Structures are given as C-alpha cells and as structure tokens.
Amino acid sequence: MSALTDAQAPKLLVSSNTQLSLTLSDMLTRLNCELNVFQSAGQTFKARAAALATVDQDIDAARRLIFSESMITRRNMLAPISILPAEILARIFQFITFSQPDYPQQRIHFTHVCRRWRQIALDDSTLWTHFSGFYGSKDRIAEQLSRARNVPLVIDRSRKWTVADRDEFALFIPHISNTRELYLCDLSFRYSGLEIVQEISTQKAPVLERFELGVDTDPIKHVGHSFFKGPLPKLRILCLRQIDFPWSLVPRGQLTQLKVTLREEVSTVTSKGFQHDDLDQLIGLLLDCPSLEVLTLENCLPAMLSESSGGQTIHLPRLSRLCLGGSSSRVTNLFKMLKLSSSTTFSLRCTSENTATHNDYHILPFLSAHFSDPTPVKFRSFDIGLDLGGRVIDLVASTSLPTLPTTHTHVIQADKDPELSLSFQDVPNLNWVDILRRASDMPCLSKIEFLSMYFDNPDQFINWRAMFQHCTEVTTIEVQEGGMNGLLQALTPPKHADPLPRGNQRERKWGEHGRGAQAQAPIDDDNHGPAPVYVPIFPKLTALLLTSLAFYHVMPGSDTLFNLLLKAIKRRKANKTPLTMLCIDDCFIREKQANVLEKVVCDFRWDHKENHEFSEDSDCEDHHSYHSSEFDDCGDEYSTISDLGVWEESAHVSSAQAE
C-alpha cells in the first residue's frame, strides 16, 4: 500500500468520522426503540433479563466500534514510527532485548504498546529464545517456550541455585535437544546439583554449541560415559568448573574453547582415583583438538607432569589465549610440550612447591625462547607487583604502552589485554629476588619503555640498578606504595659531575656490590687506569609517576621521601638528565611541598589531595626547608648508601643454592 498524500489524509479522516457518526446514530435509534419496547412490555423478570442481555451486547458492540482498528489503529498508523518496516522494528526489539538479557520483561513490554508491535514481537521467534535472569513463574516460562517455537534456545542459569530454580529447570529438560547454549553455573550440592548433572546426561543435544557447567561446592565426580546422550557434533565451547571427570569425555576435533578449572590442585599423594590425573588422555585430547583458540587449565593438570613432560610436542597453531594454573613443575612441563603461535597471549599462575629439586623460575627460559623464536617480541611496558606478605609476585608485560595522564588528569589507563601475565604464588622469601632478577633479564624485556612497580613494603630496599641494568630504553616509571628507597638511590647522581677519586670508600661499596652505577674503563698497567665514571641508570627516563606514597615518611638514612625526591630531581637536572614530568596521585603530601616540586619540574601534575593528618609542628615535619632555593644538599651520603637490605642477602643465598 502506497503512503497517503497530504491531500488524501484529511479526506480519509472526514470519511471515517462520518461513518462513525452514522453508525452511532443508528445504535442510539435502536436503543431508544428497545427502551420503549421494554417499558411497554411490563416489569416481568424474563423481559428485564432479555432487555439487559440485549443492552450488554450493544454496549460491547459500541466499545468494539470505538476502540476498534477502524479508529485507534488508523491513528497509530499516522505516527512517524509506523513508517518503519516490520523487519526494522523486529531488529530494534532484538537489540533492546539482548542488550539486557537479565531482564526478560523487556520483550514483554513490546507486546503492550499497540496491535502492530505485539504482532511483530510474537512473529519473531528469536526474540523469545533467550532464558536468563528471574522469571517469577512457571507459566511465564511455558508461554515463552511456546513463543520460541522450534528456534534453538539459549538457557542461562548462571547464578546461585535454589529449590525453585531446580523446579523451573525441569521445564527445560524436554527442550535440551533444541538448545544452542546451556549455562548451568553455581549449582549447589544442597539443591541436588549432582541430580541435575545426571539428568542432563540422559538428554540428546545435537544442536548444542556452548556448554558451561559449574558447582559452588567440592568437585562433583561425573561417572557417566558422556555429558549428554549421544554425540555433540556442533559443540565448540566447553567450560567446566569443579567437575571431576576423565579427559576422554571431552568431545574431540571441533572445540575452539576449552576451560577446566578447580579451586585447589590435587597433590600427587591424594590423586589416586582423581579422574583428571591421566597425562596420556590429556595429551591425546590436545592432539585431537588442533582448532583450539582458547585453552584454560587451572589446578587440573595431571600429577605426572611434576616428573616428566613425556617428550611429546603438541601443536596448537590457532591458539590465541593460554591460561595455565597449578604447581610450577606441572605448568612448566606442559608449557614445554606446546608449540604455539607467536601471537598467543599467556596467563600463567605457578604455585611454588618448595622442593630442593625444583626452582620456580624454570619456566622463564621457555617463555623467553617463545618470545624470541621465530619472530622476536619486544615488550614496551612491564608491570611488577610484589606482595611479600602473601608471598605473591605478579608480572605483566605488554607490547603496547599505557595511556599517560593528560594535562587535565592524573589517571593512567593501563593495557587491558597484555601478552604475558605471569604469577608466582607461595614463593619463599629467599626466592622472590632471584625470580624477579631472572625475569628482568629476559631479552624480550630489554626494550621496555614503561616500568611500573607495586610493592607492599615501603621500607624494603630494592636494588634497581642490579635488577634493571639492561633496561636502558625506559622513559617512564610508575611506583606505587613502596620501592622508592632503592629507586631514588639509583636515580640520584653524585653531587659533583667530576669522576669520583680513586680509593674512595663509597666507590668501593658501589663496585663491590655490582650496582651498575659506574662504567669501568680498561685499566692501564702503569697508572692502573682512569677513575670510574658515573653512568646513570635509565638514561632516557623523563617521567616519574608516584601513587599512594607518604612524602613525610622517613626513609633509611634518616631523611624524608620528599627531600630525597627533591635531591634526585635537582641532581639529575644538574647532570643534564632531567625529569620533565612528575605526576603525584593519591599521596600524602602538603601543598607547600607540591609547590616546591612544581618549580623544579616543568610538567608537574598533582591531584591536589593534600594530607591534613599531621600538624605543621608534628614530628613528621621534613628536616629541611621546603623552599628549593634554600634546599640543603647535604653531601653524597644518600647516593652512596650501602644498605643492601634483603636484596643483597637473598641474592647471595639464591646464588649459593643455584650453584
């Protein structure tokens, strides 16, 4: 039907109004006649009942006439949205419905707007195929199932289960054979989670493409011959959590994503009867799934991997994401077996075994080799998190740089999808230094430009010189909460630009502990060579980002963080290696301290959060004046501190153990 012209629309309305007037006039005439008949017929019961029935029929007819398609529908057709074709409206309904899958009432609203919208919504079966969120009644589920007709379903029950949920799920059991995606997460053993697992295993699922199953209790042992009755020809994604099953149950060949996770790893002592504990089955599964794109195995690696990798090579050319978790030997030995694309990203979590025969850092050489062959990967940012209280080391490396703060903000936007995320857990106190040093020496990290350090102990000394001596391309450093003692020592040049005199005690301390602060020229036999010359660490450093630091804090050496930072900035400027940007975020700092720093750094950014906990005459007052012109640069004592702390002691112990 062609659209009405501007001239035709008024004529159509006049015609409709005329017809309505004539029809209403006829009805009124009829009612008057029947009223006269009723009055003249007497007041008998039968006569009154017959007259009332006739009047009710006429009232219903009048209502249908007033609210019929002839008026309201014609009016709705003149609304601008009615110009849209039915296909466009149906697509809009889908966008709204699927953008909020946990609110199934959204799609019901479409059926209560007008007759046309209701019909379009009911005709679109795909609008009713997704089941998620809270439904409130079995009748609503049954009605939606009927509206979905034969279109494959998406059933998502990813929340804590109750008795009511179990009863509701019984309505879906007959429709498993027509389900495309099935999410059964957080099943509770209290509400017969095991019974639900056993019940779905008796159903066929020929169109199932994605299946997620998880329980919130101890692992459930799956003893069936399959997760479903019959083959799963279309299954592409399989995610299982807290399910104990043999690897042979996993469908082969067509999987693109496989995720199997347990909360706790089963030890070699208690692994007897544990169905995951079959290395040959796991190797066979991975060999038969060359199309895998995402592989996650958390705490489910066979105990046999602690001893040997089996000498196998598993080629997964399409794998884009690998997540492994468990004891460091199992993770390392499985990683050695995998031949992966250079574009694969990693999330590896190694739990220390605290054994004399295995060192946690053994995985590092294999990671380094992967990122070096065949095409070398050069990371640009490196993020280190040290939680010595929880004995955890987190290392994150990315080939992209985070977004630095703009002129009007101090917020740093970090990379959300790094190529490498490596975590060491339950690390003994004597091993964390060795792990961190070996990780920093990996060739793929030698070209990093952004270095971030989070440390939970502000008093702990970190020898930045020894640890990052090969990272000469660093331009930006971010420090959170700790590690400033060693960093400021590494960043502060000597007070004088001239070489230090030979035989100086401080020079010997620097050289003896290998801090990388000086470059030694070849020694001449006659005069024993020239004096060593200071070579700054991070020669290209221009930006320093400080977060969650206390500038009143007294560092080792009896000086405050503020004074030591100011000294480092002034010395670097005098040494012609200045810091051009200083960003202070969420720190305990006074405004007058910030004003001093602003005068010595050309690009100073501060969130203007001033600390008011300490009065002006408190014991935490800085030892020196806040005015940069009056700053007392009290010699080189700090720049030559020989406080080696845990770093040097641990390094010697670790080296002895390695030997």
pLDDT digits (tens, 9 = 90+) for 538-563: 889 999 999 888 888 787 666 888 99
Task: Please tell me the distance from the alpha carbon of residue 589 to that of residue 594, in angstroms, as a whole number.
Answer: 7
Q: Is residue 30 part of a domain?
A: yes
Residue recorded with tokens 């720049």: 639
Q: Is residue 582 part of a domain?
A: yes
Q: Is residue 374 part of a domain?
A: no
- How many distinct helices (H) and strands (E) make up the chain? 19, 25
pLDDT for position 600: 92
3-state SS, residue 488: helix
Task: Please tell me the distance from the alpha carbon of residue 485 to that of residue 474, in angstroms, as a whole number.
Answer: 19
Tell me which residue of 516, 517, 514, 484 sits closest to 500, measured CA to CA.
Answer: 517
Tell me which residue of 520, 517, 511, 514 sits closest to 652, measured CA to CA.
Answer: 514
The two tokens of residue 216 are 């919130």
What are the CA-CA distances from residue 593 to residues 33, 429, 584, 589, 637 (Å)?
99, 36, 11, 7, 23
Q: How many CB atoms lie within 10 A of CB 547?
A: 18
pLDDT for position 317: 93
Task: Please tell me the distance from the alpha carbon of residue 525 to that of residue 452, in angstroms, as a whole number.
Answer: 44
DSSP state of 4: P
DSSP state of 588: B
Task: Please tell me the distance from the alpha carbon of residue 284 to that of residue 290, in angstroms, as a whole number.
Answer: 11
Task: Please tell me the distance from the alpha carbon of residue 326 to that of residue 568, in angstroms, as a whole number.
Answer: 43
Residues with Cβ within 8 Å of residue 361, at least 6 apart in sequence: 431, 434, 435, 438, 439
pLDDT for position 623: 42
Q: Is residue 551 part of a domain?
A: yes
Q: Is residue 322 part of a domain?
A: no
3-state SS, residue 489: helix
Q: Is residue 604 part of a domain?
A: yes
Q: Is residue 7 part of a domain?
A: no
Phi, psi of 534 (to 5 degrees): -70, 130
Residue recorded with tokens 């059933």: 155
pLDDT for position 269: 54
**Contact present, 581 and 603 (Cβ < 8 Å):** yes
Question: Among 27, 52, 78, which residue terminates a domain?
Answer: 78
The two tokens of residue 369 are 């080799």
Task: Please tell me the distance from the alpha carbon of residue 233 to that of residue 574, in angstroms, as a whole number.
Answer: 71
3-state SS, residue 366: helix
Q: How many domains does the chain have?
A: 2
The two tokens of residue 58 are 């006429």
Question: Regarding beta strands 554-555 and 559-560, do their DSSP bridges make them parallel or antiparallel, or are they unpaired?
Answer: antiparallel
Question: Among 26, 52, 78, which residue terminates a domain?
Answer: 78
The two tokens of residue 399 are 């080939």
3-state SS, residue 244: strand
Task: Please tell me the distance from the alpha carbon of residue 643 to that of residue 544, in angstroms, as a whole number.
Answer: 23
Give pairs for 374-378: CB < 8 Å, separation 24+: 374/342, 375/342, 376/443, 376/444, 377/342, 377/419, 377/444, 378/444, 378/446, 378/447
The per-residue pLDDT for range 181-213, each reduced to its tens digit, is 999 888 876 666 778 888 888 899 999 999 999
In three-state form (DSSP H/G/I as H, E/B as E, the rest C), the secondary structure along 422-462 is: EEEECCCCCCHHHHHHHHHCCHHHCCCCEEEEEECCCCCCC
Residue 455, beta-bridge partner list: 386
Task: Please tell me the distance from the alpha carbon of residue 146 to that of residue 125, in angstroms, as a whole number.
Answer: 9
**Cis previous bond, 374, omega within 30:** yes
3-state SS, residue 614: coil
Q: Is residue 362 part of a domain?
A: no
**Ramachandran category for residue 339: left, alpha or beta (phi over 0 → left; psi -120 to 50 → alpha):** beta
pLDDT for position 415: 58
Task: Please tell me the distance from the alpha carbon of residue 535 to that of residue 532, in angstroms, as a whole number.
Answer: 9
- Which of the residues in the chain have pLDDT under 70? 1-28, 30-43, 64-70, 101-105, 133-136, 160-164, 189-192, 223, 268-274, 308-310, 355-358, 405-416, 430, 458-460, 496-536, 556-558, 611-659
Domain range holding 68?
Answer: 14-78
pTM for the structure as a whole: 0.76
pLDDT for position 316: 95
pLDDT for position 526: 44
Question: Among 29, 51, 78, which residue terminates a domain?
Answer: 78
